[in-house]
Amino acid sequence: MLILDGLWQKGKDFLGSEVPIIAGAMTWISDGMFVAAVSNAGAFGCLAGGNMEPGLLGAEIARTRDLTDRPFAVNLITIAPNYKKQLDVALQDRVPFIIFGGSFPRKSEIQKAKGRGAKVMAFAPTEALAKHLIRSGVDALILEGSEAGGHIGHVSLGILLQQVLLKVHEVPVFVAGGIATGAYVAHLLLMGAAGVQLGTYFVLTEECGVHTKFKEAFIRAQARDAVATPQVGSELKVVAVRALRNKGLESFLEMQVDLIGKRKRKEISHEEAQFKVEQFWVGALRKAVKDGDVECGSLMAGQSVGLIDRVRPLKEALSLLVDGAEAELVRVRGKLMGPL
């Protein structure tokens, strides 16, 4: 029996997977084929809703079910224009798990999802919001530190662990952001995590269908290359995005300046400006993921990109995490017990 078995049983039971390791939803990457591959390998896959057309989301849900009989989640971004229609599709299709991201779901939406048999997960950046989400009915929480890739919050995982993980015990808590080694997984479990979520780590797997140039950019990158976009001015609300530094990132900064100027001249509404911000990232990410434009496209990546050096089969990537976590727990037990 592994030491891990006792530490992450709660997460395994909740997710219904062999290991409570979640492959975080990544727009243009986490499609039905990849999600099914993750779940079939024993981990837990998440289908990325992004701003997908509702009909296409339904098709991806169906494709996922065709390829796996194991549990998976649909990740919905509450601030996406298609969000409400996507939620209707997910509930109509009775997906087993719904993960709400982007902002905080309404209590009525959480209850609606639970009423259709779905387990609900949501992101919690503070203890107060974690408690609020629990009162609203969420079944589990995810803490995602700013080390993560894509749209991020402002707080590192180290702080979130102290603010939330060590204080909230009513529901399973999964943690994310900067995770790429089994040893780190072990210590997060020892702190009370029910499991972990990784995104960047799984991009460098054979089953991940991104363009070869996208993967090559990840292999070359160092942790310091994954930077968060700054907000140029208060006139335009920008949710920070962590990505590898390239011309695409520079273009985003130039676009902010242009949009702020148009707002001041009243040439564009606030809503139109915000839509163009999100439209930029969706298009830029597709350029990199699908077309291999690693210069002008968006290379969304977490700082853990500096810890991954090659592409591996998915099962091997998972084994590295599991074996590394168990080895670290054995080492820690030896230190605690001292010499015999």
Q: Is residue 297 part of a domain?
A: no
pLDDT of residue 319: 98
Model confidence band, residue 142 (pLDDT cutoffs 50, 70, 90): very high
Residue 133 pLDDT class (50, 70, 90 cuts): very high
Q: Are residues 46 and 111 in the same domain?
A: yes
Spatial distance between the Cα atoms of 93 and 264, rounded to a whole number of angstroms = 45
**295 compared with 235, residue with greater pLDDT:** 295
* C-alpha to C-alpha distance for 313 and 315, rounded to whole angstroms: 6
CATH code, domain carrying 157? 3.20.20.70
Q: d(Cα 79, Cα 215) in Å, to the nearest integer?
A: 29
Closest CA to 15 of 73, 88, 60: 73
Q: What pLDDT score does 337 carry? A: 87
Residues 322 and 286 in one domain: no
Same domain (yes/no): 216, 206 = no
d(CA 12, CA 272): 43
Q: How far apart are CA 14 and CA 12, in angstroms?
A: 5
Report which of 48, 84, 70, 62 is spatially closest to residue 208, judged by C-alpha positions. 48
**Pair (89, 58) in one structural domain:** yes
Helix axes 247-264, 270-291, angle to 10 degrees: 170
* Contact indicator for 181, 307 with CB cutoff of 8 Å: yes
pLDDT digits (tens, 9 = 90+) for 66-89: 999 999 999 999 988 889 999 999
Q: Are 301 and 244 in contact (CB under 8 A)?
A: yes
pLDDT in tens, 92-131: 999 999 999 988 899 999 999 999 999 999 999 889 999 9
In a domain, 300, yes or no: no
127 and 250 fall within a common domain:
no
The sign one gets for the Cα dihedral 29, 32, 38, 39 is positive
Residue 152 lies in a domain: yes
Structural domain including 23 reads 3-210+308-337
Tally of domains within the chain: 2
Structure tokens given for 99: 């993960």
